[in-house]
Amino acid sequence: MNTKKENREVDPSEEREYHSPSSGIFFKLKRHLYRDISEYQKIEVIENDYFGRVLLLDGLVQTTERDEFFYHEMLVHPAFVSHPSPQNILVIGGGDGGALKEILRYQIKYACLVEIDKKVIEVSKEYFPWLQASLEDERTELVIDDGVEFIEKTGKKFDIVFIDSSDPAGPSASLHETDFYENLKRCLNLEGIVVSQAGSPFYHLDSIKDKDAFLKKLFKIACFYMSPVPTYPGGSWCFAFLSDDVMPLNIKRDPPRELKYFNLDIHQAAFSLPNFLKDLGSNI
Ligand code: SAM
């Protein structure tokens, strides 16, 4: 897959992420707050005047204080407004805690976060305050494990599973493959939904098409929706909505009122795809 390109620092006062060999995004550094290499990846937190704190893994932006709401609201709320009774929720990846923060807005019984890299959790707890609050919530369980292995061995079943993984390189690669999704289906309750981040419709179109082809074979409903995410490559992002029973446009509840981006009009519109993506997804 054509992933976000490895960062190549050319100016020590900037953090640059290349999206093609000749283009990308840069952040003027106010300061470096954290930089280390964990067992799995290079972890950095920088501060930028406009975006605030920015978390990068292997030089690729994961989240920023200023624009995190686009991605996290659009990852989480479409499934919640579509599911008849979401109670047991799983997040794979998501160590920055943004997805968990959105999930805990609902009256659920249980949210399990499975993150492979405990260092991402420690760093995010320190620099992104919403994670600390979400982990202290009594409905939350944190598991430090490889999502692939967790899914192979768990006996638990979930109503919604969110795949909040990094792009398909390093420890995330297997979270983007057919076998993983096959196993994941065993962990879904009746009327279960999987939502997975799927990449940039502009830069990662080939991999989105590959994913679409195998996901359509596994799930009766396999469709994509889109959202702006200002700091991700291309500025807009694709998500896969997967289920055997639940249609995303059959709304079951209102979203929380305090959200910054998501509402039911946005929900409806997000599943309308541009012409170059029209042959993706199925049947909604
Ligand atoms: N929204 C982000 C994006 O698309 O850029 C993803 C955010 S989140 C920080 C991604 C997390 O997935 C990372 O913390 C990484 O450690 C975790 N991760 C990668 N591979 C994993 C695996 N196999 N199992 C569980 N977590 C994994």
- Predicted confidence at residue 2, as pLDDT, reads 38
Q: Measured from the CB, is residue 164 less than 6 Å from ligand 1?
A: yes
Closest to 178 measured CA to CA, from 154, 142, 214, 152? 214
- In Å, what is the CA distance from 100 to each residue of 92, 245, 261? 11, 24, 17
d(CA 140, CA 100): 8
Q: What is the pLDDT of residue 283?
A: 47
- Ligand 1 pocket, 59 CB below 6 A? no
Burial code of 117-138, b = ≥16 C-beta within 10 A, e = fewer? bebbbebbbebbebbeebbeee
In tens digits, the chain (284 residues) has pLDDT values of 334 445 554 677 899 999 999 999 999 999 999 999 999 999 999 999 999 999 999 999 999 999 999 999 999 999 999 999 999 999 999 999 999 999 999 999 999 999 999 999 999 999 998 888 898 899 999 999 999 999 999 999 999 999 999 877 778 888 989 999 999 999 999 999 999 999 999 999 999 999 999 999 999 999 999 999 999 999 999 999 999 999 999 999 999 999 999 999 999 999 999 998 887 755 45
Measured from the CB, is residue 222 less than 6 Å from ligand 1? Answer: no
Q: Is 254 annotated as catalytic?
A: no
- pTM for the predicted model, two decimal places: 0.94
pLDDT in tens, 78-100: 999 999 999 999 999 999 999 99
Please identify which residue in the block is written with the tokens 């799995």: 40
Whole-number Å distance, alpha carbon 75 to ligand 1 midpoint, is 14
Give the position, in ligand 1's atom list, of the atom nearest the Cα of 175.
Answer: 23
Which is catalytic among the residues 58, 96, 117, 164? Answer: 164
The pLDDT score that the predictor gives to residue 171 is 81
Ligand 1 atom 18, closest CA: 93
pLDDT single digits (tens) 135-170: 889 999 999 999 999 999 999 999 999 999 987 777
Using a 10 angstrom Cβ sphere, with 0-12 exposed, 13-18 middle and 19 or more buried, the burial of residue 103 is buried
Residue 281's pLDDT is: 56
Instruction: Establish whether residue 97 lines the binding site of ligand 1, counting it when its CB lies within 6 angstroms of any ligand atom.
Output: no
Tokens representing 101 are 């923060």
CB distance 166 to ligand 1 below 6 Å: yes
Rg (CA), the chain: 18
CA of 239 to the centre of ligand 1 (A): 15
What pLDDT was estimated at residue 10? 62
C-alpha distance from residue 120 to each of 36, 91, 95, 150 (Å): 10, 15, 6, 18
To test ligand 1's pocket by mutation, which of 124, 172, 227 has the most ligand atoms within 8 angstroms of CB? Answer: 172
